[in-house]
Amino acid sequence: MTTTAEYERLLREASLRVTRPRVAVLAAVYAHPHADTDSIIGYVRDDLGEVSHQAIYDVLRALTNAGLLRRIQPAHSVARYESRVGDNHHHIVCRSCGAVADVDCAVGGAPCLTASDDHGFRIDEAEVIYWGLCPNCLPTRSS
């Protein structure tokens, strides 16, 4: 997704009005997966000039509610947003720097949706977060 016309099409298909802030937020999240709200505000302001925090929060909420963005919030972290929606992927988070990366389900379509005991729930999503150190934060090994 790289063009304004494509973002406008997504908004229309989701029955949302096309506005400059909505297009700018979509562009920011597509360009910067797993960005936090403050970063998104910075990217949008670089693009549009002064936009209020509340306007960006409102846009993020509307885009998330419409299914155009996904909000994730790993433990002890701020909320982050991504444009990869519609699948049941997971995340890996660096304990040191907080870097986040997508991880596909390990086997099959979505094996994590089969709980050992669903307690009568109809499960439609699972949130698995792997934790560790990213390659940049791993200690170097001296030989």
98 within domain boundaries: yes
Q: In what order do the strands lie in the sheet with 129-132?
A: 100-103, 90-94, 129-132
The total number of structural domains that make up the chain: 2
Which residue range forms the structural domain that includes residue 101? Answer: 87-132
9 shares its domain with 38: yes
Encode pLDDT of 81-116 as tens digits. Answer: 999 998 878 899 999 998 999 988 765 555 666 777
Cα separation, 129 vs 6, in Å, equals 30
pLDDT tens per residue, range 44-58 = 999 999 999 999 999
Place of tokens 């200690």: 139
pTM given for the model: 0.83
CA distance 31 to 119: 40
Whether 8 and 67 share a structural domain: yes
Q: From CA 53, how far away is CA 111, in angstroms rounded?
A: 39
Residues 18 and 68 in one domain: yes
Which CATH number does the domain housing residue 103 bear?
3.30.1490.190
